[in-house]
Amino acid sequence: MDAWLKAALNYIPQWLDYQMRLFEQPGCVIAVVHKGRLVLEQAFGYADATRRSKLTPRHRFRVASHSKSFAAAAIMKLRQDNQLRLDDPLGQYLDGLHPDVAPATLNQLLSHSAGLIRDGHDAGQWQDRRPFANTEELRTALAEPPVLPGSSQLKYSNHGYGAIGLVIEAVTGEPYADWVTREIIRPAKLLESQTDAPIARNVPFARGHSGRLPLGRRVTIPVDNRTHALAPATGLISTAGDLARFFASLDPAARHSVLSPASRREMIRRQWHDPHGLQPSYYGLGIMSGEIDDWDWFGHGGGFQGCLTRTFTLTGRDLAVSILTNAADGYSGVWGDGVIRILQNFSAGGKAGARTRDWTGRWWSLWGAVDLVPYADHVRVASPGHLNPFTMAGKIDITGRDQGVMGAFSAFASPGESARLIRGGDGKVREVWLGGNKFLPEARAVAELQRKYGG
């Protein structure tokens, strides 16, 4: 493993821990896979905030729409085995469809371009007000006309992936869960994943949580309900480690996968653009994709009742990142973005050198914390409270032992002024000065605030 990656993997949990405290989130698990191997797996917070039960990497989460990538992989596996084609119409496998739904191809269903309704006329299942649709209810919905003409735009549809599950059952003659478990999940060596609830009593399971509003406090959500015919769209239960391994294996360059490189290339190929999202993104076959600066990614996200999750595979870099949160206001997506930006910065900066390695750690003042991040020939001053900690990160140029100059800083900071490390009698750094501002370790900063202001 490259030294810069080791340093980045050391910093990422420190940043996430600060983010967890800052936003008062119940729980979070992160996993990073490099060259097919799990290199980081860490949990923060609680699996159930009401019971104060500690979250671990072994806790299963409802990972919702990550299910679509598994369902798409199942279709691609059947295609490899010459059991179906992507341009086959849905009506070839299912009867009772509306005449305008029957011609929708498997490719259109997988790429969310069939124009089908998203969740039916009553989407109360997402509010935990009603059960998820069973097969009869789904077939009734598929007998209604599509909302938009096929191949007119990207239009996300959980019902479309429910139909994909019915196709898999029609082709294989087996229940969706049985076939996908045997042909996709087990061959991928995912030991902590299953297609839907319920889970065994002895398996650790993370509960969902509401946001703090409107009650002013979070409530715990069981999230143990079955998704029935919509399991291919949203039923999956998994861990961050399993998801990172699976999505890493979908990289066309991966050495081991349940799919051929050609199938993986077809899955991640960008077919539709979402022009109205927060960031430019695309959809392939059960796969979301985009760019963060000049790094390409593909993966998927998921939102269940009180759980938000996200997985990114960084193409051409042998890296996959999965972040699972168990709150309706969880930050899995933006934290994933932040993790990628951390990786980018460490990749560009290189490992710490002899002159920079003591310029490290988190340092506090009345205004919050800064992180000193040493690189090969300079030090960055990161802000752990930012969703991208390197936004406006200043640069310290080292001029001597424990001495530096604040170089590339905002004009409203202190460019050109000195930076200093102050050591104690034991030789350890006890204070950091950036210009005229003194920063302390957290315990000393807490003591100072309590001494001055009480509490």
Q: Which domain holds residue 295?
A: 26-330
Report whether 74 contacts 184 (CB < 8 A): yes
Name the domain count of the chain: 2
Whether 350 is covered by a domain: the verdict is no
Model pLDDT for residues 68-96, shown as the tens digit of each residue: 999 999 999 999 999 999 999 999 999 99
Report whether 138 contacts 166 (CB < 8 A): yes
Same domain? For 395 and 250 the reply is no
Confidence of residue 451 (pLDDT cuts 50, 70, 90): very high
- pLDDT at position 275, please? 86
Which of 70-79, 269-278, 442-451 bottoms out in mean pLDDT, i.e. has the lowest?
269-278
- pLDDT at position 413, please? 85
Identify the CATH number of the domain in which residue 131 sits. 3.40.710.10
Name the residue among 338, 249, 252 with its Cα closest to residue 292. Answer: 338
Mean pLDDT throughout 251-273?
Answer: 97
Residue 28 has pLDDT above 90, yes or no: yes
- pLDDT at position 365, please? 96
- pLDDT at position 200, please? 95
Query: What region does 428 belong to: left with phi over 0, alpha with psi -120 to 50, or beta?
Result: beta
- pLDDT at position 409, please? 87
Mean pLDDT throughout 331-349?
Answer: 95
* Biggest CA pair distance of the chain: 82
- pLDDT at position 353, please? 87
Same domain? For 322 and 420 the reply is no
CA angle 276-322-231, nearest 5°?
Answer: 75
Same domain? For 417 and 299 the reply is no
Model pLDDT for residues 174-205, shown as the tens digit of each residue: 999 999 999 999 999 999 999 999 999 999 99
Same domain? For 287 and 428 the reply is no
Same domain? For 232 and 365 the reply is no
pTM: 0.96
Which of 181-195, 307-321, 388-402 bottoms out in mean pLDDT, i.e. has the lowest?
388-402
Q: Is 423 helix (H, G, I), strand (E, B) or coil?
A: strand
